[in-house]
Structures are given as C-alpha cells and as structure tokens.
Amino acid sequence: MPILRYIGRRVLFVIPQLFGIILVSFFLVKLIPGDPAVMMLGPTASTQSIAELRDKLGLSKPLITQFGRYLHDVARGDLGTSWQTTRPVTEDLFQRFPATLELITLGLLVALAIGFPLGVAAARRRRGPIRKFADYYGLLAGALPDFWLALVLIYVFYTALGWIPAPLGRIDMAVVPPPTVTGSLVIDSLIAGNLAALASSLGHLLLPVLTLGLINAGPILKMTQSTVERTLSSDFIRYAEMCGLPRRVVLRQAVRAALPSVLTIVSVLYGFLIGGAVLVEIVFSWGGAGQYAVQGVLNADVNPVLGFVVFSAVLSLVIYLVVDLLYFALDPRMRG
Amino acid sequence: MSTAVASRGPAGVGAADPAGSRWLRRLRFFAAVLRQRPTFAIGYAIVAVVIVTALLAPWIVPYGPMVADPTVYLLPPGRGHLLGTDGTGMDILSRVLYAPRVDLAIAGIGTLVSASIGSCIGAIVGYYEGQRSWRRAVSASVMRSADVLQAFPVFVFAIALVAVFGQSVRSIVVAIAFVNAPIYLRLMRTQVLSIRRLRYVEAAYVAGASDLSILARHVIPNAMAPVLAQLSVNIGWAVLLTAGLSFVGAGVVAPTPEWGSMIAMGFQNVVTGQWWPSVFPGIALGVTVFGFALVGASVEVLADPVRRRILSGSLG
Amino acid sequence: MSGEDLILDVADLWVAFPSYRAAPVHALKGVDLQIAPGAMIGLVGESGSGKTTLARAIMGLVPPPGVVERGRVLFAGKDLRRMDAEARRHLLGREIAMVIPNPRAELNPVIPVGRQIANVVFHHLGVSRKEATGVALDMLRAVRIPDPERRLNAYPHELSGGMAQRVVIAIALACSPKLVISDDATSGLDVTVQAQVLDLLRSMVQEKGAATLFITRDVAITAHFCTRIAVIYAGQLVEMADTRAFFARPAHPYSIMLLAAFSHNPALRARWTRAAGEIADAAGEGCAFAQRCVRRQPRCLTDIPTLRAIAPGHLARCHYPVEERQ
C-alpha cells in the first residue's frame, strides 16, 4: 500500500521536528526570568525552603540534565505539573484542548461556509459586484483584529440587542453541564440528551465561532478564488467546454480540482488557530488551551507552556495526516 | 529594485532616455495606474495619512495622550472630546492619533529586521542549495530549522519571546522579527532557486565573478519584487501582532497610547455599553492594516513584468 | 453547392486579439471554408498561422481576450454565431467533436477515462448512466484499447500517450458527430504510434460518416488523409485544392515552401526558402507572404492579392501563382 508507506515516512519525518520544537521551546521557556520556586512559595518564603523546593523540582541541576529528564518524561506521557493549577499538565490540557478544538473546528466550518461559495462565485466572473465584494472582503478580513471584532459583536448582540447570553465561558453558570465524554459540550449534551445544556453551550459558541468564521473566511475565500480561477482556464476545463458539457458540470469539475488547495489552506489555518485563537478565547473567557499557555508564559509556569507546544505539535501532525489521507482520496495521481 | 524593473521593461525604451525624464515617465505611469485602479490609490492614501499623522501627532492632538482627567471619564463622543474619553478620562482621539507612532515604529522596524535577516539567509541558502559541498548540508539544516520555527504556534512563541527579553518595545520588535524571518527566508530561497539557473547568472559565473558579487549584483536585485510586496503586507500583520500582544498584556505597557492596549482597556466598558474606548482604536488599526495590504497588492502587480505590461496596455 | 448541403460553411471570419498599446492583432483575416458532409479537409499551416484559432472560432470558444469581429459560421445551415450559448453547447461534443493534441494534460486528471466518455454520452444523448457506461465500453473497444473493461476505471495519468489519444478519439466519436475537428492530434506522439492513431481516426470517422477538419503542421500527413487541402498563412487561406491537384501542382509559393520543407531534396528546399537574414521585419501593404517569398515582385509589396481560382476547384491567393510542376 503506497499510502501506508507515505504515512510512515511522514511520521518518521515528524519525530526530529518534534524533537526540535521541544528543544527550542524548552530552552526558550527556561530563559524566561522568574523563579518558579519563588512564585510557588510566595515572596515571604525563606531562602532555605526555596532551595529545598528547587532541589525537589530538579531546578538546581544543569539545564541539559533537566532537558534530558523532561524528554524522558514526555516520552512516557508525563508533561509535569503546573504550579498555578497544581494539577498535572496532561490533565489540564485534556480538559482545555476540547474547548479550543470545539471552538476552532466550528469556526473554520463557518469560515468555509462563507469563504468557499464566495470564492467560487468570485472566480466565475472577473468583474461585477460579487467579485468586488470578494476582493474587499478578503482584504478587510485580513486587516481586522479578531479580538476587536469579537468585542464589536458582543456590543451588538449582547449589550445592544441582548440576543445572546453573557459572553463568559462556555455554558451558563446555572446550567448543569453534561458528564464529560468527548470534552465538546455540544456533543456531550447530545449524548446526555440534555437540551438545556445544549442550548446554553450553543448560545455561548455563537459569537466566538462567528468571530473566527468571519475573520478566517478571508484566506479561504482568496485561496478558493485564485485556484478555481486557475483551473477554469486550465486545459482540461477548456476540453470539457469543447465537449459541450453543461456549465454546471464544468464548474463542478473546476471546483473539484480546486479542493486540494482549499484543504491545504484549511489545515494551515487549523494548525495556526490552535494557538492563534487565544485572543478570542480571552475575550470570551473560554478557558481554552491557548489561554492556558499564555497564562503559563506570563507567570513563568514552564510546564503548561511546554505541554501546550508539544500537544499542539502532535495535534498538527494528526491534522496533516488526516489531510494527507484526504489528498489520497481526492487525487488519483497520488495513489499511483 | 529599480535596475531590475528597468532591465525588464519594454525593449528599446528607457535606455536612451535621460535619467530625469525616465523618473518622470515612471511617475506618470504610476499616476495612471492609480487612476485605473482606484483601490490602490486608497491604499497609498491610507498609508500616507497614517504616517503623516504619526509624524505630526504632537502638534495635532487636542489633549495630552497620557493625561487622565478623572472628572470626565467615559464621556461619549461629542463636543470637546470628539471620540469620547476612556475609563480613566483620557481623550480617545488624541490617543488614537498618537498610537501609530508606537505601532508603526514597532511593526516597521520589526518587519525590516526580519526581512533583511530572512532574505539574506534565504538568498545564501538558495544559492548554495544543491551544490556538492558542506554548504549544502548547512543549507539543508537551515531549512529544517526554519521548519521548526514555523511549526511553533506563532502567538504563544511571540509572547514567550517577549517574556524572555522583558516587557519592552525592543522585545516586541525582536519577537516580530523572529516570527516573520522564516517567511522571507522561504520567499527569497524560492526566488533565488529559479533565478540561479537563468542565463545571465550562469554567464556571470563563467566570467569568473565571485559568489558574493553574483549574489549582490545579479541575484538579489532580481529577486526583490515579491519580498517588497510581502514587506508591506507584513507591516500590517506586525501591527496586528503588536496589538494582540498588548491586548493580552505582553506588549506595550498600558498608559502608552497603542491601539491594542486601548482596545484591551476598553474591553470591560464594551460589555456595559460604552463601546467607544475599544471601537475607535480598532477601526484605526483595521484601516491601517487594510491600507498596507492594498499597497502590498499594488507592489505585487507593479513588480510583476507580465501584469505590469497588461496594466500599461489597458491604460492605452 | 448551396449552404443547405454543406456541413460547415465559414464565410469571411475575422478574429481579433486586442493588443497592448497597439492596434488589435488579427489571428484570422476573412477566412472562407466549406466542408461537405463526409468530406475530409486538411488545414495546413505553421504555428501561429491561425489554425487553432479557426477551430476555436468555429466552436465559439475563442479564448479571451480574443473576439470574433465578423463573419458567419453555418453548421448544417444553422448560424452558430447567432445561436445562444446554451444551444451551441448542445452541438459541441454531440455534432461537432474535437480531437485535441495533448490528451494527458487535457483529460480531467481526477476522473476515470470511462466516466469521461460516459459523461459526454450521458449529457448529450439523454441515456441513463448505465447505458452511457455501456457506450463508453463499446467505444474503448472500437478504438482498440486492450482490456477495455479494466481501462474503463483507469485515470489519464495511467495511460500512455497513444492510449490517451485513443480515449480522446473515443470521446469525440461517441455521439456520432457530423463534424470532427482534429487539432494537431498526433503531434505529441511517437512516429510509429502516430501512424496507428491516424489510421484509427480515419477508419472511425469513415465508419461514422463524419466530415473532418484535419488541422496539422505536417503537410505530408494530409496526403494520406484528406480529400481536399487548405493552406493557411497569417490568418488567411492562401491555397485550397483537391489533394491530388494540390500535390501535383501546388500554386502558392508558401505551399511549395511547406512541401519542400518535408522533401528530401535540399536543392528544392533551398530554392523555395528565403534565408532568415533576407526576411524584412515590417509587413507592408501588400501580400502577407511577400517578405518571405522567393518569387516576390514589386507588385506583391503594394497590392493585396485575393483568393482566386487558378483552375477549376483550385484557389490560390497569389498574383503570380506557380504553374510548372514541382
């Protein structure tokens, strides 16, 4: 099976990359000024108790030894403990990543729903209002800060119109959340059959998802437009026209040929948003993974930051693997 | 860049012209392009206005940008305070006009640093790639390092860099330079890889020119166009990144007028209905980035010989 | 012959491509061409002479920014230029079929070839998907592709150039068209494969009784293939004659130059080809070929020649047509 060989090579290639990422982030994070031992014990702690804690945490050993030990732990799935939450980082991340993933998955679906059809429509005509709108939309979506758009949406839909619940967290305080199965509140509510939780979580998702969707529709739109435009003037589409195939069939073939590029941009955005959605997470007090990492950086809490980086790298790997599988499905030339 | 564009221009024109009229002709062409594509003109106008505002801010602002007057906090836009005041009683208009001094300086310097470092490394890597020597190994390892850097979550990486170097303007510049450099590295490498195989580069090599002089005289000038286009777009991104860093509290420190931190300061007010402290700086930020993106798009068109020809043709 | 009887009647067809800063470039300058049902017309010319543009203009698919400026294209008596795009589309692929030069790039890379044949049948003949697939299988058999059941599900990149060309012929003839336009169809193939594919195309076309416009750069191919030959130069037909008459007594110096280029007689080649250095740059007012013509007279640079009969059924656009046998 060529596909298995391909995936195998891909995974092998990622291992040194993962190592490089851990290496760089480990030393980078270690460079952040601030002594975790001091932060954990507070400013009033005695020098002796600080030294004891440093020994216990392994902080007094040389950096390279610390790195070796960290690698050893990571290989066993232990990402250390966060001194802020005093919980194992792995547990924290397993709790927070689903929140982020639920948010950005839905956000990208909305972005696709806006950007893809608009891109196809704009590619069909070189002039006209749709094309103009698409051009400006692409530029504008790339120019607006997402955290600002989130605030504007909050003002309009919460403060002024009052259509949505208070933009705090993923679910109303008063609603009992469903038992955790997948970590996605929407899916878990459906599993539990808890309609109140479902409604509340959907209500809380609405604005952040809309924010991410509106902003990220820009690159999807541009990519779709330029690729469909290129395929529409390609040899095989011209031949399809010469064969007198109906316009919609020709267009469908052109769109079909553009799918791999759209897939690529979506996967790139997905990888970016794992950490890049943090500003939107902060605005909505989402409690996602990005927010967790930023808190870690700002408080010299090393393990959450490293854990986040490792987690998102592995996640990107999974995404790229899925994308590769889809490429295989989309393009017979890759199966050869 | 000017030499590259001239040498790619229509044959026969330009060579005999005196330099003065050549510039005049170029200027006239540029003006004609702006008339033809008014959107580009908007972009240049925005960028010009933002830069002029940044330069003249001390003389045109009605209030001190960091002077808080607690008696007039959260005034809605109106007489006296055209864009209202924020939660501490500072005039929003003055702060919005002052902000590009910080934002543009950080973004501009950060982008320039990343572009010069990134494209120099990219040019060298591209030039030596595929040659049979130790340089090839170096090129390959540089590319793999760039892979690693780009695999990082950009925003978390930038925050970490700021945390490492301490919260200061200089750190933000370093962070911007660091996260953007791989983009230029890749861009320049791809360009150089294709230019390296062109006849005139091979001719220079056969004529015995040194690697350095071939790079400096023949390769880099002809590879600059996409870098320039990217530069303008990237300044816009850098403004966004600066604002984002300030928004989470890892960027410019609060009372300094900066769009991102102003949006952050107004955050709580928006929920309670006072939208103006956050909305106006956001609009200024968005318009600025939009302007730089348009300028980048125009550079892309103007620097591409084929598209420029089409444009000059349609100008008749 | 009246217009009703002709399968294709092109009259005074002009196609222009707008040019930057300058007057538009005319790819076709008043082309007249008639094709009777079942006839095989060879259209010969060098690259850039307007052959492909003519094929595209007939189908109404001149690539933008080109435009058909004026002229008439009658297909079986119907004016293709006045027809709306949708009606014309119904003719393309069903009654006017195209055989293209570079099938591995022009067949859709992500659709199995069997489905590409079936698609055309399905959309034009109003049969069911299943019947269309049946037709596709029959067509693959007819173009003598080995193991057709398996090839039905093959993708274009899995076929050899000759095989892909057969698929294109299958697509072209699947709906039994009245006119087949073959544009440089074999130029990308090895010489041995070329001959096979040409023979196949000829037998298929004859079997279906379709008329053929056979566009090529290779004048030698037309000798075996066509009943009548037209030579195009710089967007104008410069000579048209029945195959036998054309090869016996080519009248236009350009035709002779083309024929000489394929001959094994270097003296003949040298006699009819002007050395590159002698060719002047600017085209004057007169005959478009004058600058390259070895028989140029002063009049050729001032007067534009018309396409006129020099013998029954033999037209040439030359003030001084060649009369002696070559």
pLDDT at residue C271 in the model: 77
What is the CB neighbour count within 10 angstroms for residue B270? 24
pLDDT band at A156 (very low <50, low <70, confident <90, very high): very high
Helix axes A247-276, B154-165, angle to 10 degrees: 30
Task: Tell me the count of A-B CB pairs closer than 8 A.
Answer: 147
Q: How do residues C156-173 score in pLDDT, each as one tens digit?
A: 988 888 889 899 999 998
Which range among B5-14, B223-232, C190-199 shows the weakest confidence by mean pLDDT? B5-14
Looking at CATH, the fold of the domain delimited by C3-226 is given as Rossmann fold (3.40.50)
Cis peptide before A219 (omega within 30 of 0): no
The overall average pLDDT reported for chain A is 86
| Residue A233, pLDDT score | 85
Question: Rg of chain C's alpha carbons, rounded to an integer?
Answer: 21
Domain boundaries, chain C: 3-226, 250-326
Q: Does residue A171 register a pLDDT over 70?
A: yes
In the sheet that holds C25-35, the strands lie side by side as C25-35, C8-17, C67-75, C78-79
Q: How far is A47 from chain B (nearest CA, A)?
A: 24
Taking only the tens place, the pLDDT of each residue in B93-122 is: 989 999 999 999 999 999 999 999 998 888
Strands C8-17 and C25-35, sheet pairing: antiparallel
The yes-or-no verdict on residue B3 having pLDDT over 60 is no
Task: Search chain A and give the residue with CA nearest C91.
Answer: A244
- Sorted by sequence, the CB contacts under 8 Å of residue A113 that are 6+ apart come out as A213
**CA distance, residue B278 to nearest chain A CA (Å):** 7
8 Å CB contact of B153 and A139: no
User: H-type helices in chain C, by residue range?
Assistant: 51-59, 85-91, 103-106, 113-125, 129-142, 148-151, 161-173, 191-208, 219-225, 243-248, 253-262, 266-272
Closest to A34 (Cα-Cα) out of A280, A251, A211, A298: A298
pLDDT at B296 (0 to 100): 87
Give pLDDT, residue C3: 47
Identify the residue among C58, C61, C80, C116 best suited for mutation to test binding to A, counting A beta carbons within 10 A and taking the highest: C116
The pTM of the full predicted model, rounded to 2 decimals, is 0.84
The answer to whether A239 contacts C124, with C-beta atoms less than 8 Å apart, is no
Is some CB atom of chain C closer than 8 A to the CB atom of B166? no
How distant is the alpha carbon of residue C295 from its chain centre?
28
Reported residue count of chain B is: 316
> Which of A239, A246, A332 is nearest residue C123 as measured by Cβ atoms?
A246
**Partner B contacted by A15 (CB < 8 A):** no
> Chain C: residue nearest B308 by CA?
C20
More confident residue, C264 or A258: A258
What's the pLDDT tens digit per position in A127-151?
889 998 998 899 899 889 999 999 9
Q: Which of residues 294-313 of B touch C (CB under 8 A)?
A: 309-310, 312-313
**C93 has a chain A CB within 8 A of its CB:** yes
Cα C57 to the center of its chain, rounded Å: 11
List of chain B residues whose C-beta atoms are within 8 Å of the C-beta of residue C19: 313
Q: How far is B272 from chain A (nearest CA, A)?
A: 7
Torsion angle (degrees, nearest 10) of CA B149, B151, B152, B155: 110
List of chain C residues whose C-beta atoms are within 8 Å of the C-beta of residue B316: 21
pLDDT at residue A252 above 80? yes
Q: Specify the residue for token string 């030069």.
A: C101
Q: Give the separation between CA C86 and CA A107, rounded to whole angstroms.
A: 40
Contact C183, C218 (CB under 8 A): no
Q: Which subunits have 3 or more CB–CB pairs within 8 Å of chain C? A: A, B
Q: What distance in Å separates the CA atoms of residue A25 and residue A323, rounded to the nearest whole number?
A: 26
Instruction: Please give the CATH architecture assigned to the domain spanning A96-335.
Output: Orthogonal Bundle (1.10)
Tokens of A166: 């208070």
pLDDT for res B9: 37
Domain ranges across chain A: 2-75, 96-335
DSSP 8-state class, residue A245? -
CA distance C254 to C294: 9
Q: Which of A239, A253, A255 to mutate to test the interface with C (most CBs of C within 10 A)?
A: A239
Convert B195-211 to b/e letters by CB count within 10 Å (16 or more is b).
bbeeeebeebeeeebee
Top pLDDT among A282 and C273 is at A282
Q: What is the DSSP letter of A176?
A: P
How many Å apart are CA C226 and CA C49, to the nearest integer? 20
Determine contact: A60 vs chain B, CB below 8 A: no
Average pLDDT on B157-179 reads 86
Rounded Cα distance between C259 and C213, Å, is 20
Residues in A whose CB is inside 8 Å of some CB of C read 235-236, 238-247, 249, 253, 256-257, 330-333, 336
B190 touches chain C (CB under 8 A): no
Among chain A residues, CA nearest to C98? A242
Amino acid at C190: D
Q: How confident is the model at residue C266 (pLDDT cuts 50, 70, 90)?
A: confident
Where would I find the beta strands (DSSP E) of A106-256? Answer: none
Are the beta carbons of C52 and C227 closer than 8 angstroms? no
Distance CA A33, CA A11 (A): 35
Give DSSP secondary structure letters for B229-259. HHHHHHHHHHHHHHHHHHHHTSSS-TTS--H
CA separation for the pair A120, A135 (Å, rounded): 13
Strands (E), chain B: none
Structure tokens at B118: 């990134």
For the stretch C100-123, pLDDT in tens is 888 888 899 889 999 999 999 999
Mean pLDDT of chain C: 85
A290 interaction partners in chain B (CB closer than 8 Å): 153, 155-156
| B138 exposure class (CB count in 10 Å sphere: 0-12, 13-18, 19+) | middle
- The C-alpha of B259 sits at a distance from chain A's nearest C-alpha, in angstroms, of 10
- Chain B hits for C21, CB-CB cut-off 8 Å, are 312-313, 316
Task: Say if CB C92 and CB C80 are below 8 A apart.
Answer: no
pLDDT score at B10: 40
Instruction: Count the helix, strand and coil residues of chain B and give each as a percent rounded to the nearest 5.
Output: 75, 0, 20
Taking CB atoms and an 8 Å limit, are C106 and A236 in contact across chains? Answer: yes
Determine contact: C107 vs chain A, CB below 8 A. yes
Cα–Cα distance for residue pair A24/C187, rounded to 1 Å: 56
Q: Which of C17, C19, C20, C281 to mutate to test the interface with B (most CBs of B within 10 A)?
A: C20
Q: What region does C2 belong to: left with phi over 0, alpha with psi -120 to 50, or beta? A: beta
Q: CB-based contact (8 Å) between B316 and chain C?
A: yes
pLDDT digit string (tens) for C63-74? 878 888 888 899
Q: Which parts of A42-184 fold into alpha helices (H)?
A: 47-57, 63-75, 89-124, 129-143, 146-154
Q: Test C21 with B310 for CB contact under 8 angstroms.
A: no
If you measure CA to CA, which chain B residue comes closest to A157?
B271
Q: How many CA atoms lie within 13 A of C25 on its CB side?
A: 14
Interval B262-285: pLDDT, tens: 998 888 888 888 888 999 999 999
Distances B13 to B9, B10, C20 between C-alpha atoms, Å: 7, 6, 15
Q: Please classify residue A152 by burial: count the beta carbons closer than 10 Å to its beta carbon, then call 0-12 exposed, 13-18 middle and 19+ buried.
A: middle
- Looking at this protein, which amino acid is placed at residue A222? K
Contact call for residues C326 and C245 (beta carbons, < 8 A): no
Asked whether the beta carbons of A147 and B282 are under 8 A apart, the reply is: no
**How far is C137 from chain B, CA to nearest CA, in Å?**
45
CB neighbours of residue B34 within 10 Å: 17
Q: How far is CA C190 from CA A314, C25, C108, C161, C162, in A?
A: 50, 34, 23, 9, 8
According to the model, what pLDDT value does residue B11 have? 38
Instruction: Check residue B13 and give its pLDDT.
Output: 42
B33-57+91-315 fold: MetI-like fold (1.10.3720)
Q: Report pLDDT digits (tens) over A67-122.
A: 888 888 888 888 888 888 889 999 999 989 999 999 999 999 999 999 999 999 99
Closest CB to A278 among B149, B155, B266 = B155
Provide the shortest C-alpha distance from residue C187 to chain A (in Å): 16
CA proximity to B178, closest of B113, B97, B273, B275: B113
- Residue C40 is inside which H or E element, if any? strand C40-44
pLDDT of residue B282: 92
* Model confidence at B6: pLDDT above 60: no
Cβ contacts from A onto C, under 8 A: 70
Q: In C301-319, which positions are buried (b, 16+ CB within 10 angstroms) versus exposed (e)? A: beeebebeebeeebbbbbb
Q: Do B314 and C19 touch (CB under 8 A)?
A: no
- In the block, residue with structure tokens 């084929």: B306
